[in-house]
Structure 1
C-alpha cells in the first residue's frame, strides 16, 4: 500500500492537466508562427517586383512576381559561388575542429581523478568574465600570428568557446558513469581509446547540440572577414552579402554614381527592397536544413548540460 501511494504521488506531481497541456501547445504554436511568418514574408518579398513593393508595401503573396533581385545578386555569380564554397568549407572544417578541441578540453576537467581539473576549469571560466578587447585581438592575429587573408583566421578564433566547454563538461559528469570508465581501464583501454570509443558515442545529444550552435556561429559570422580579410581575400557569404548591401545603399544615396551607371547601361535597375530580402534568403542557405536532422538531440543535450554547473 505504501509503494502504491508513493507511485500515485509521483504521478500526480508530474501530471499535466488537459487545460495546461492545451495552453502550452497553443503558446508554442503561436511562438512558432511568429518565427516562421517573418521568414515567409522575406521569401515572398524577394520574389516580388521592386515597383510593386515600393507602391503597395510588403505582401505575403507577391502582387507581381519577379526574379530581378536574384538576377542582380547573381550577375557576378562566380563571386557568390566562391563565397558559398568558403563558407561551407569554414563551417564544416571549423565545426569539426572546434568540437574536437572543446571535447578534449572538457573531458579531463570532468574527471574527478584529474588533479588540476579546478585550475583548468577556472582558466576557461575566466575567459567568460574577461576578454582582451578588440585591439589586442586584432594585433595577435594580424601582427603576431600573421594569419590575415587566410581561411585559418576565419576558423581559429571560434575553436574554443568557454560556454560550450562547460556544457560538454557537465554532460560528461552527469551522464557518463564513472564505473564505466573504471571498467574500461581495468580491461586495458587507454585514455584516448576510452574517450573516442566509449565517451564520445555516449555523448551524441550534447555533441549534436553544441555542434549545431558552432555551425550557426561559423555560418553567420561576417565580422572576422571584415577584420582580417582584404578585398581580394577569401570572404564568407555573409560578408559578401553585407558588402552588396552597402553597395546598394551607396547607389541609392549617390545620384551621381547611379546616373553614371544608367548612362553606361540604360536598362540597369537597383532592386533595393527586394534585393535586401533576397540577400536574407541567400544568406540562410543550406544551414536551414541542418536543424531538423539534429532536433531530437538538441533539447536533450542542452537541458542535460545546463542542469548543474
Structure 2
C-alpha cells in the first residue's frame, strides 16, 4: 500500500457495506462506516460482528451518522439497495469527495445519478452476498470466476481512479474485474435478479417453500429470464456476463432443472425469510419498473409471461 493511506467511506452498513468494511480494515485502510439509528448505536457499542469459520468475531470500526460536506474521502462506496440509491446520492450531493462508487443494481442507466453527483459517479457491483442475523454478519462468497466486484467508468476508459481502486481491491485481496460497459453489465444483472427473485413473491405474499420448489416455478423463471434477455438485446444491451447469453440457446428443460436445483438451496431458503424477502421485493419492484421504462424508451415491447 502507498505511504498515503486511502480514506474510504462506506455509506450503508448492511451486508455489502459491512463485508467491505471488514476486508478493507483488515488490509490497513482508513475506513469509516456511515450508519443511522439502532445500527449506528450497535456498531459503536459492539463493533462490526461477523461469523467466520463457525465463530462470531468482532472488529472495531469508525462509525458516523452525520457527514459534513468538507469531510473528504478518496472513495465513497454507496452500498445500499437500488430502491435507496437515489436518496443516498442526494445525501452525498454536497460532499466534496471526488469519487462516489455505487455498489448497487441499476436497470435503466445512469442519467438520474449523474444529475445528482455528476462525473464523480463510478458504477460498480459487489461480488458477494449474505445476510445479517441477530446483528451478526453471515457472508456468502461465490467462486471468483462466478462473482467478483465489477467496476468501470461509464465511458469504458481505464482512468487513474480506476487503477487506484483496483490497487485497493488488490491490497485487500478482494476479487475484482474492470468492465468497459458497466451499464450493460448492471442491466443484465438486474434482468437475472428480476427473473429469479420476483417469482418468490405473489401479490406481496412470500411464496411457500413447497410451491417454490415446483417445476412450474422453475419454468416461470426460465421463460421470464429468456424474454427479458431477448428484450435488452433488442435495446442494444450487450449481455454481460456472456454466460447469460448462452442461456438463450439452452433448452427450457435444462434451465428448468437448473432453477429447480437453485430453488432448493439454503440461499433461496434465506431469501424467503420475511425480513429479507420484504426488503428485496421493494428493490425488485423498482428494478422491474425502471427496466420497463428503459425498454419503452428504446421502443421495445417485452413479452413477459407472469
Q: TM-score range by the shorter chain?
A: under 0.3
Bigger RCO (CA 8 Å, 6+ sep): 1
| Bigger helix share | 1
- Report the TM-score when normalising by structure 2: 0.22
- TM-score, scaled to structure 1: 0.22
Greater strand fraction, Structure 1 or Structure 2? 2
